Amino acid sequence: MTDSAPVKTDADGIPLLENAVTPQQLQGDTYAPGTDLTDQEQVGRLLDSETVQALLADLAEDLQKLVAWKVEEALKQELEKLIHDATERSIPRLRQDIETHLSLALPELLARIAEQGQR
């Protein structure tokens, strides 16, 4: 993943939102119920406020962790599938190689056992 802390998940593996901003933390900002959000200057002041910037930073961090986690999970699943498929494809050849080695080694092994039994 990344250098940041791992994503915390609940019992179902769903990522948990951390560092959420409460409505009380938003109080005292320059936003007022009557603020005209069509006024670019007022919107700019709102977006530049420390609380909104902290909220955006937390949101960006949480999204980055979520995306990294999802990519990691998708890659894990694909790698597991590739390894499983490769193993399944190699099993017949592996079995054939084991049978060949056993059939080549078995006569000599039996001769050694018989020889040791006669001593």
CA distances, 29 to each of 41, 42, 47 (Å): 15, 12, 10
Per-residue pLDDT, 4? 67
pLDDT tens by residue, 1-50: 445 677 888 888 888 877 777 777 766 555 556 667 788 888 888 888 88
Give the residue among 10, 9, 2 at the shortest CA–CA distance from 64: 2
Higher pLDDT, 9 or 77: 77
Strand, coil or helix: 28: coil
Residue 34 · residue 24 · CB < 8 Å:
no
Averaged pLDDT, 101-116: 91
Cα separation of 61 and 9, whole Å? 15
Helix (H, G, I), strand (E, B) or coil at 41: helix
Q: What is the DSSP string of 10-53?
A: -TTSPBPP-SPPPHHHHTTSS--TT--TT-HHHHHHHHHSHHHH
Q: Which two tokens stand for residue 40?
A: 């670019």
Distance of alpha carbon 21 from the chain centroid: 26
Give yes or no for residue 68 having a pLDDT over 90.
yes
Domain spans in the chain, listed from the N-terminal domain onward: 23-118
